[in-house]
Amino acid sequence: MSELRLDPTTREWVVIATERARRPHDFARATARPLPEAFSPSCPFCPGNEARTPEASASYADPATGSWRVRVFANKFPAVGPEGSTERRQEHPLALCVDGVGAHEVVVESPLHNRMLGLMSDEEVFDVVRAYRDRLVTLSALPYVRQVTIFKNHGPSAGTSLDHPHSQIVATPVVPWHMRHRYDVATLHFDERGRNLYSDLLQFELEQRVRVVRESPSFVEIHPYASRRPFETWIVPRSPRASLAGVPDAELREFAGVMRDSLRRFFTGLNNPDFNHILYTAPVGDECEPYYSWHLRIYPRLTAVAGFEIGSGIHINTSLPEQTARFMRELASADAGE
């Protein structure tokens, strides 16, 4: 018999299909996808080809050589751009629209064409998440930006055909309904319980311990109770802070290490699966509220999202988060030489 679990951060049900559940190692690719070469002459993100992309809006250099380690620039095919107004147009009571004013940037994560996040040093990952935070701060200051979404698509089924490691940042002139809902759910929890939802969630997971993958002084990595997909992973700070914008360097460096470890385990344990990751952070203007907490969610693309998910919003998870968390925890222990 399967079980439906309610995600306390969205109030959405998830089917945990225990009868159809596959064992964690069944989700690994049969053979590792070969990594590309370290340099690809035709790749617009490789060093030497900078002229093929827009001018950098930010870059982080190797202190020894002075050459860039992380480079940020405007997407050449942007979903939203700097022109236009946030003034809504209401052509009809059922037709409300606004210009696509905002920013859409690419974060090239490494000069090396094959240096995936999970294979980097902690310091290299720190440069990437520092770019996330700094661009969040800069883009949030633009008068037309209401939400910044930071995400990564890795592999064709996750929505990219470009091998070169990169993330994207989209700053929209609206707070997405999806985000406002999560913020509202957290706010209601605070109003009712007097505590931050994400702190309570960590406390619950740390009591049960069965879905905790790894702990660091400031972060906890879990496979959540109501995981929507096999191996869905959240990295949540112990001290809630609504936005990534205010995270100091020391904490961000620690986060980079936890994230790198997690992605390395995906790479080794599941043979380099396609995945998305998303940095959840508060809407612009709601950064100081005690209700929400920024966090990272990793969604490996191991099963299809089909008609039932589209039509009901209920995901069918064919794995048990308790089992996948244990699988990853054992890999983490092995890594640590325990």
Which residues, 6 to 35, sit near its own copies by CB under 8 A? Answer: 6, 8, 10-13, 15-20
- Of the pair 104, 260, the CB lying nearest its own copies is at 104
* Interface residue with its own copies, options 40, 59, 114, 157 (CB under 8 A): 157
Q: How far is the CB of 32 from its own copies (least distance, A)?
A: 22
Coil, helix or strand at residue 104 = strand
The interface with its own copies within residues 71-90 (CB under 8 A) comprises 77-81, 83-84
- Of the pair 1, 336, the CB lying nearest its own copies is at 1
- Of the pair 160, 187, the CB lying nearest its own copies is at 160
Using CA atoms, how far residue 315 sits from 28, 162, 311, in Å, is 20, 28, 10
The interface with its own copies within residues 135-154 (CB under 8 A) comprises 147, 149-153
Size of the site for its own copies (CB under 8 A): 79
Residues marked as catalytic: 166
* Interface residue with its own copies, options 307, 336, 337, 338 (CB under 8 A): 307
Could you give the CA distance from residue 208 to residue 205 in angstroms, rounded to a whole number?
5
Could you give the CA distance from residue 137 to residue 153 in angstroms, rounded to a whole number?
22
Instruction: Name which of 164, 163, 265, 249 is nearest 214 in CA terms.
Output: 265
Determine if 97 is a binding residue for its own copies (CB under 8 A).
yes
Could you give the CA distance from residue 126 to residue 117 in angstroms, rounded to a whole number?
10
**Which distant-in-sequence residues (6+ apart) come within 8 Å of 297 by Cβ?**
232, 233, 234, 277, 278, 280
Stretch binding its own copies (CB under 8 A), from 105-113, 119-127, 245-253, 274-282: 274-282
The interface with its own copies within residues 177-236 (CB under 8 A) comprises 177-179, 193, 200-201, 204, 207-208, 225
- Of the pair 196, 332, the CB lying nearest its own copies is at 196
CB 290 within 8 A of CB 250: no
Q: How far is the CB of 334 from its own copies (least distance, A)?
A: 29
Q: How far is the CB of 275 from its own copies (least distance, A)?
A: 9
* Interface residue with its own copies, options 36, 48, 176, 285 (CB under 8 A): 176
Q: How far is the CB of 76 from its own copies (least distance, A)?
A: 10
Within 10 A of 246 (CB to CB), how many other CB atoms are there?
14
Determine if 158 is a binding residue for its own copies (CB under 8 A).
yes
Which residue blocks in 106-222 are alpha helix, DSSP H? 122-140, 177-193, 197-208
The interface with its own copies within residues 314-333 (CB under 8 A) comprises 314, 316
Instruction: Name which of 164, 88, 167 is nearest 125 in CA terms.
Output: 167
CB 225 within 8 A of CB 196: no
- Of the pair 170, 332, the CB lying nearest its own copies is at 170
* Interface residue with its own copies, options 67, 121, 312, 333 (CB under 8 A): 312
CB 186 within 8 A of CB 197: yes
Using CA atoms, how far residue 98 sits from 2, 87, 183, in Å, is 44, 6, 23
* Interface residue with its own copies, options 45, 280, 294, 327 (CB under 8 A): 280
Could you give the CA distance from residue 142 to residue 145 in angstroms, rounded to a whole number?
6
Maximal C-alpha separation, the chain: 64
- Of the pair 275, 327, the CB lying nearest its own copies is at 275
Structure tokens at 48: 């030497």
Q: How far is the CB of 185 from its own copies (least distance, A)?
A: 10
